[in-house]
Structure 1
Amino acid sequence: MADEDRIAAWAGVLRTQAAVVPKLERALASVGLPLTWYDVLLVTNAAEGRRLRMTELGKQAVVSRERVSRVVTELEREGLIERQANPDDKRSSFAAITPEGRRRLRAAAPVYLAAVEKHFLSHLSPAETATLAAALGRVTRAEES
């Protein structure tokens, strides 16, 4: 692969994110849920027991590890997440999604999924989607380990 193709691949990832993420943010704003909130609620809801240690949430959420605590505080203020003490480790705590958080997540999901379809998936064939998922997944696994 020529250097130009390698640079174009990386630039494509950055430009795609820059083009698509603001549109997803606008779509979710229509239901009163910032994209960072949606991400943290989604990850927390998918966790066993619908709760995660804050350190694990910081690893799994797309929001930066530095911002995850602030986002959890915002969600806590809104009654969408609650912090729970970790009985096994007094230095750590859990972020747990509340019933209201689950309700808001379920209400926002169709809006989010429709925006992802419109602004990203609709531009790709099924084969391109599979290839992209495999390639980006490989990079993510390598860099997160």
Structure 2
Amino acid sequence: MEPRWLDETEMRAWVAFLDTSNLLLRRIDQQLREDGGLTQPQYELLTRLAEAPQRRLRMAELADLLVTSRSGLTYQVTQLEKLGLVHRQAFQDDDRGVLATLTEDGLDALRRAAPGHVRVVRENLVDLLSHEQLLALGDALDVARAHLRTTQRRD
């Protein structure tokens, strides 16, 4: 079966998405390293923990939220644990489960890095688009994300 090649409009949208994502993530990573000594994945991990009840999540749940492998998450948590930003502990009544908990130092690191992070996101994406464009972008990406999350669970 012959592939259904992208037409000019589809290719323009795809390349714009790739370039924008890569360029923005590179800027975010640079800002986070400068302001907080964190990588973008580490910042996202700390953010997810900060938003969780009691600032902790099971490692398996955290891996799903971050869309990363469990071994990749273990590596990141180990690095953050060495810095005193995250603490791991066994889940009560379940020896197989491990909880990752954001420490006070982790919350402080997040607070130091967050203002610059928001500035970079605003300057390079949010403030460049109109309210209508942001709504359309959010709606479009919600469709793709929902599809990918659904098919990820089946794979």
TM-score by length of 2: 0.86
For the residues of structure 2 that align with 1:85 and 1:78, how far apart are their CA atoms?
Answer: 20
* 2:15 aligned partner, one-letter code: A
Output the CA distance in 1 between the equivalents of 2:103 and 2:115: 20
Deviations along 1:55-101, one digit per CA (max 9) or x if unpaired, are 11111125x32421111100000000000111132112011100110
Q: Look up the match of 1:118.
A: 123
Distance 1:88 1:124 in 2: 49
Q: What are the equivalent positions in structure 2 for 1:126-145 lying under 5 Å apart? A: 126-145=131-150
5+ residue gaps, structure 2, are 1-5, 151-155
Following the alignment from structure 2 to structure 1, what is the Cα–Cα distance between the partners of residues 19 and 77?
Answer: 28
- The corresponding residue for 1:79 is 84
2:75 match = 70
2:27 to 18, 23, 27: 23
RMSD value over aligned CA atoms? 1.5
CA distance in 2, matches of 1:28, 1:16: 18
Paired residue secondary structure (2:99): strand
Equivalent residue for 1:36, pick from 36, 41, 46: 41
> In 1, distance between residues paired with 2:12 and 2:54?
42
Which of 102, 107, 112 in structure 1 is aligned with 2:107?
Answer: 102
2:43 and 2:130 map into 1 onto residues whose CA distance is 26
Task: Tell me the amino acid that sits aligned with residue 132 of structure 1.
Answer: L
Q: Which structure 1 segments of 5+ residues have no match?
A: none
Inter-partner Cα distance in structure 2 for 1:138 and 1:21: 21
Which string of whole-angstrom CA distances, capped at 9 and with x for unpartnered residues, describes residues 9-34 of structure 1? 22221111111111111111112222
Give runs of ≥4 in structure 1 deviating > 6 Å.
none
Please tell me whether Structure 1 or Structure 2 has the larger radius of gyration of its CA atoms.
2
Q: How many residues align?
A: 143
Q: Distance between the aligned counterparts of 1:88 and 1:109, measured in 2?
A: 35
